Amino acid sequence: MIEFLGKNRIFCEKYLHQIKEEDTIEGLAKFYKTTVFQIKQQNKNDFKTGRCIIIENANKNYHIVQPCETFDSIAKLYNLTSQYLKEKNRVNTLFIGMRLEI
């Protein structure tokens, strides 16, 4: 699941995870590339086997390309260079709806 975070179309990834007996918070944080603190904060320290928890990975931010946007206009929004965006995403062209990692 991807959630909208602000006016510049920054998104973060959210996952729903059902806790298994062998799961640890540290292991989940490493697997989902987030922190133990974030997982505990989002789920009110309720970690029983079988319960579904939300894990949010805000370490990766994305921009969804809108009509008339260019690499330069998107780069300006995030104080980046267009070359950085191209290299980070391994692309040279944009299309509407494309998800760019910021």
pLDDT tens for 55-86 read 876 556 778 888 899 999 989 887 889 999 99
Does the pTM of the predicted model rise above 0.85?
Answer: no
- Structure confidence at residue 58 (pLDDT): 58
The full DSSP string for 27-52 is HHHHHTTS-HHHHHHHHTT---TT-E
Domains present along the chain, CATH in parentheses? 2-59 (3.10.350.10), 65-101 (3.10.350)
CA dihedral over 82, 85, 88, 92, signed as positive or negative:
negative
From CA 29, how far away is CA 57, in angstroms rounded? 9
- Structure confidence at residue 60 (pLDDT): 61
Query: Sorting pLDDT into bands at 50, 70 and 90, what band is 9?
Result: low
Question: Would the pLDDT of 3 be above 70?
Answer: no
Q: How many CB atoms lie within 10 A of CB 28?
A: 19
